[in-house]
Amino acid sequence: MTTVKQITWDDAVLPFQLDRSDIRGRVARLDGVLDEVLRQHNYPPQIEALVAEATLLTALIGQTVKLRWKLSLQVRGKGAARLIATDYYGPSDDGSPARIRAYASYDADQLDPTATPFSQIGAGYLAVMLDQGTDMTPYQGFTPIAGQSLSDCAQTYFAQSEQLPTRFAVTFGKSQLPGQPAGWRAGGVMLQHMPSVGGSVAAEFGSGEGGLLSHVDILAGDEAENWTRANILLDTVEEMELIGPSLSPTDLLIRLFHEEQPRVFDATPVRFGCSCSSEKVRSTMSIYSQKDIQTMTTKDGLVTADCQFCGAHYEFDPTTLGFEAESLRNAP
């Protein structure tokens, strides 16, 4: 039987603040939305795990940003996992759900079934991109693949690019309630030290892997002590506490951080959602000439396209595509 706490907290991100420590955070639970993301494709287990972790991290990170439109996370590697891409669309109105989507590209011949999912990436980088919509300059930040997980990479990104000490505790995998089919479930906590007014990092090289910055290069004194204490408390979290459903996020925060004076805010529901459309595909095709379009035309006389995120299938008359056709449509 589905519990009340499941209904309330699944597929949602709860923001909170630790008033004693000047630390903000998020608690996320993903259930049905993660199933929808992953069932669009038949990924091998290692790739499924990478997509699950990236989706959870994107939900946690996206909720910290005052988005007008979209936050994207991309992981590009030279190993079997070539690309993990996620998009988080902020709520269009107060109370509306955020939307998230994800997909992966991989080389099946390079997959090692005995190796960890993270090791399938190899050398590469993690990128965080912020698109605030029309007339706004997009932001991009990069960090090399480092550590033992995508969570480690995201922590390094915030320390290196934003100079914000950040910590993730996440878990994910397939679970099954009695009498119900198995499904994907994920949960996590994000901690982030609030930026100091007028603070800056003087060190040219950090103490992290490969000279990257870490929290010890950014915080000192009481701030460092508060950050260490909050991380020690987060270290006590158990996997079943993160994914529930027997423990609500509010109860989890009290269990972990009651001495840090946790204060919670309104939760944001998260749903699977894709922004693809026939018009967007047509617009993408407008960079090609009619000659190029003909090379894309099938034996049935159609140009087809499939969305990598949601699997939507589009078919077009080739005579309506290409920059020549676009010019005719826009002619006065």
Please state, in angstroms and rounded to a whole number, the distance separating the CA atoms of residues 284 and 289: 12
Please state, in angstroms and rounded to a whole number, the distance separating the CA atoms of residues 285 and 303: 10
Q: In this structure, are 93 and 177 located in the same domain?
A: yes
- Position 7 scores a pLDDT of 43
Please state, in angstroms and rounded to a whole number, the distance separating the CA atoms of residues 245 and 256: 17
300 within domain boundaries = yes
The last residue of a domain, from among 251, 272, 293: 272
Coil/strand/helix, residue 104: strand
| Neighbour tally for 266: CB within 10 Å | 8
Average pLDDT per 10 consecutive residues for the chain, totaling 332 residues: 51 94 94 91 94 97 86 97 96 88 96 96 96 83 95 94 93 81 91 72 61 72 92 96 87 95 94 89 83 87 87 86 60 52
DSSP code of 196?
P
Percentages (nearest 5) of helix, strand, coil residues in the chain: 35, 30, 40
Contact 8, 31 (CB under 8 A): no
Q: In this structure, are 31 and 158 located in the same domain?
A: yes
120: amino acid identity, one letter: Q
Q: Where are the beta strands (DSSP E) in the chain?
A: 12-18, 23-30, 70-77, 81-89, 98-106, 124-131, 139-144, 166-175, 183-193, 262-264, 268-272, 303-306, 313-316
Coil/strand/helix, residue 84: strand
- Position 1 scores a pLDDT of 36
Q: In this structure, are 297 and 157 located in the same domain?
A: no
Consecutive H or E run containing 267:
none
How open is the CA angle 184-189-193, to the nearest 5 degrees? 155
Domain containing residue 20: CATH number: 3.55.30.10
Q: In this structure, are 96 and 186 located in the same domain?
A: yes
- Position 193 scores a pLDDT of 93
Is pTM beyond 0.75? Reply is yes
Task: Express each pLDDT in 93-127 by its tens digit.
Answer: 877 899 999 999 999 999 999 999 999 999 999 99
Q: State the residue range of the domain holding 146.
A: 7-272
Domain containing residue 283: CATH number: 3.90.1280
Q: In this structure, are 56 and 174 located in the same domain?
A: yes
Please state, in angstroms and rounded to a whole number, the distance separating the CA atoms of residues 289 and 285: 9
- Position 332 scores a pLDDT of 54
Helices (H) and strands (E) in the chain, counts: 10, 13
Task: Express each pLDDT in 3-15 by its tens digit.
Answer: 434 445 789 999 9
Task: Express each pLDDT in 224-240 by its tens digit.
Answer: 999 999 999 999 999 99
